[in-house]
Amino acid sequence: MSSSIQVHVLHTGSVIVDEALPFNYKSNPPFAWTGLFRSKKKQMRLPVSIYLIEHPKGLVLIDTGWHAINRTKPFKNLSLAYPIYKADLPEGEAVHEHIEQLGYQVSDLDYVVLSHLHCDHADGLRHVSTANHILVSQEELDAANHNTIGYEPHQWENINIDTFAFTHNGIGPTGKSFDLFDDGTIEFVHTPGHSIGQCTARIKAHKDDDAFLLLASDAAYASKSWNYGILPGLVNNKEETINSLNWIKSQATHPQCIQVLANHDPDIKPQIFNL
């Protein structure tokens, strides 16, 4: 493992949704995000990103993208969510395929951390179930087991998932975060709104380094989300969504911010960041 940190931005195919789901403009009618009774011209294709981090203390995967079953049985896999979220996963782009292409095996993964458990982030868990540790916030797991919209509990059924607790430390919009290695290099900041327990990952080369890379998950769908204050069509809590989006904007404009990557931003291409 290298003494530096490498962040691989990988795409596990794409998701096809109504444009009102990621970008809920004021002109949109209610429930436009569902795509029901809407023209296909309103649909857009967005990447589904995952992040493999080569860190001196271990190999870390953030999110898992789509499962390969979507290539043949998408309706069976996504059930009621299928009319809203349509998965497209080309050969070679599932999470385990990416890992093998980079010269690793799933069993080499020290940590798999879920930013949240919505179906396009947790679907690939079954491909990486032999990872050493699989983590999600306690708030998110509790919410996912008691809600229906956006969640498909079969995606983590019979998978050993551990939960982490956020620490009240004044970081982020709720003042809470989880430090994976307890050294400030990979910190999961609580950014609720899109989901109750969602977190954004802040990556630094070392604790005292001011420069950072921010992986915003779905706290924002693209840079225009924070630049123009555009909320998604589906939110768990509007006020929390606004607070998280405003915090993302404050980080994006911070002089030490390398870049903010929104998970579904169509302008973000697969690439490697060296920290």
As beta bridge partners, residue 108 has none
Structure confidence at residue 83 as a pLDDT band (50, 70, 90): confident
Position 1 pLDDT exceeds 60: no
> Quick one: which of 231, 223, 217, 234 has its CA closest to 85?
234
When mean pLDDT is compared across 35-39, 68-72, 81-85, 212-216, the lowest value belongs to: 81-85
When mean pLDDT is compared across 19-28, 113-122, 173-182, the lowest value belongs to: 19-28
Position 103 pLDDT exceeds 80: yes
* pLDDT tens digits along 125-147: 999 999 999 999 999 999 998 87
Domains, the chain, in order of start with CATH, read: 6-274 (3.60.15.10)
Structure confidence at residue 64 as a pLDDT band (50, 70, 90): very high
Task: Using DSSP bridges, classify how beta strands 167-168 and 134-137 pair: parallel, antiparallel or unpaired.
Answer: unpaired
> Quick one: which of 91, 96, 49 has its CA closest to 71?
91
> Quick one: which of 170, 202, 171 has its CA closest to 185?
202
Q: Is 185 exposed, middle or buried (0-12, 13-18, 19+ CB in 10 A)?
A: buried
* pLDDT tens digits along 199-251: 999 999 887 778 999 999 999 999 999 999 999 998 999 999 999 999 999 99
Report, as an integer, the average pLDDT of 145-157. Answer: 85
